[in-house]
Amino acid sequence: MRDPIGATWRLIRWGGALAKHDALIPREITPMLPGWARPVAGFVHLFAGREGRDGRPGQRLGRAFETLGPVAIKLGQVMATRADIFGIEFARDLGRLKDKLPPFPTDEARREIERSLGRPVESLFSDFGDPIGAASLAQAHPAWLADGRKVAVKVLRPGVERRVVQGLDSMRLAAGLVHRLVPLSRRLEPQAFVETVARSMNLELDMRLEAAAASELGDIMDKARADGGHMSAPKVVWDGVGKRVLTLEWAPGLPMTDPAAIEQPGLDKDALADNVVRAFLTQALDYGAFHADLHEGNLFASAPAELTAVDYGIVGRLGPGERRYLAEILWGFLTRDYPRIARVHFEAGYVPPDHSVEAFAQALRAVGEPVIGKQASQVSMGRLLGQLFEITALFDMHLRPELILLQKTMVSVEGVARRLNPDHDLWAAAQPVVERWITRELGPKAQVRDGLRELLGGARALSRLVQDPPQAQTVVVEREKTPVWLAVCVIAATSLSAAALIVSLWPRILG
C-alpha cells in the first residue's frame, strides 16, 4: 500500500457515502443481527439521507458506488457477476450500475492521443469531433480517417490510473479489516475478491488489450456468419491503438438505448431478439469466448436484424468442459432429462462424488418442472441457471467464476430480447444452437471422430516406440528393438476395431 493515511481517509469517505445511501448496514438486515450489533446499526442509520429511503439494498448500493468513482463502480460490476454469493435480485440490481460522467475537454483528449501514439492527431484523422459519451475510465469521440471512413476513438481520462491505484489501496485496506474483524466473511475471501477487481481494472486501463479482444471476437463473429450470422464487431484500426487510445470503425445502425432504434423502417424485432440470444450462445458454445457485457448500451441495431457489439473490456472464456456443461444442462432442461444433467455435473467434477447422482437429479427436477408448460415469456434461462446454482450449493458444488459471468451475461441478453419482444421464446431461439453443438460434439459422427483421433494418437505412440525404444529396454533386452511385426499387428487390430465401430454407427450417421 503506497499511502496508508490517504487510503484510510478515502475509506472513511466511502463509509460515509454508503451510510448516506443506507447501504453500509442496510435496514433490511437489522432484524437478523445479534442483539449487541443492532444499536450500532441504528446509529449508522442516523446518517442515511433521502437517497437511502428508496429502493432495494442492491439499488441503493449501486447509487452509492456511482458517486464514488471508477473503482467503486467496477467493484459493483464484479459483485453483479457473483449471484452465487449475493443472491440473484441483489446481483441484478447492481448490474444496472451506470458510470456516465461529464466529458473532459477535446483539447485534452487530443493531447492524450498524441502522447500515446507518438504522432499528431492530424496525421491519422482528417477530422476529430467532440465527445459523444463519457464514462468513469474513458470517453468516445467521432473521427474520420484520411480515406473517409468514420471511426470511434476511445481515450482514457487523464490521471485515471492514479485514481484507480488510490481506490484499490482503499479497497485492499477494507478487505483486510473485514477479513480480520468479521470471521464469517472469510469463506467469501474478500481479499481475493478485491484482487479480482484489481486485475479487471488493470486490463481495462490498457486499450491495446481491449483492441485485441475486439479483434478476436470480431474474427469469431465473422466465422459464425457461416451458420447464419447473428452479430458483428467494428474492425480495429491498429494505427490508432495505443496504451491509452483505441480506434474502431464506426458501428452501423442506432444504439439500442435510443428509442428510435426499434422504430427503424424494415426492422424485424423478433429476428433481432433471436439474434441476440443465438449470437451469445454461438460465441460461448462454439468458440469458448464471448462478449460478457451485452447490454443495450453496447449494442447497435440496423434493419432488417443486424447487430453490432461495442466495448470489449470484459470477455468471458469457457474451456471444453464448461462448454459441454452449458450445452448439456440447457439441452437437458429442454428435453426434461434430469439424470443427464446430474451426470454432467458429476463428470465435470462440479459435485463431489460422495453425493448421490439420483438425489441430485431429484433436486434438478425441482428446478425444471415448475417451468414446464409455462409460456416462454415467463421462463428465464438466466434465472433458471441462477436457481440451479442455488440448489447445487446444497451438494457442495463450487462454481467456477466463468460460469457466474456466463449466467450474468445470459440475464443481460434475455433483458435485451424481452424488451424487443415481451413474449419472445428464448428457448426456441436457443434450441438450434444447442442442438447443433450436441449433434456435432456428442453425436455418432463425433464418436467416430474421437475414435479416429485416439487411433492416430496410438499409432503415433507406437511409431515413436519402434523408432526410439526406451533406454531401459535396450539394456535389458540386449539392444533388441520392439519387433516391427508386433507394432504392425497392434496397429492393424486397432484399425479393425475402429472400422467395426464406424460400420456399426454408419446407419445412425446416415440417418
Residues with a catalytic annotation lie at: 293
How far apart, in whole angstroms, are the C-alpha atoms of residue 34 and residue 14?
A: 25
Nearest to residue 408, comparing CAs of 100, 98, 88, 192? Answer: 88
How far apart, in whole angstroms, are the C-alpha atoms of residue 137 and residue 149?
A: 26
* Cβ atoms of residues 232 and 135 within 8 Å: no
Assess whether the previous peptide bond of 4 is cis (omega < 30° from 0).
Answer: no
Nearest to residue 309, comparing CAs of 256, 269, 263, 265? Answer: 256
3-class DSSP assignment, residue 312: coil
Which helix (H) or strand (E) segment is 126 a member of? strand 125-128
Cα Dmax for the chain = 90
How far apart, in whole angstroms, are the C-alpha atoms of residue 33 and residue 175?
A: 21
Those residues whose C-beta lies under 8 Å from the C-beta of residue 25, and which sit 6 or more positions away, are 33, 40, 41, 44, 45
Question: Could you tell me the CA-to-CA distances from 324 to 74, 370, 387, 407 in Å, in that order?
Answer: 30, 25, 19, 15
> Can you give the length of the chain in residues?
511
For 336, other C-beta atoms within 10 Å of its C-beta total: 12
Amino acid at 144: W
Pairing of strands 254-255, 299-302: antiparallel
State the residue for C-alpha cell 491509452. 244
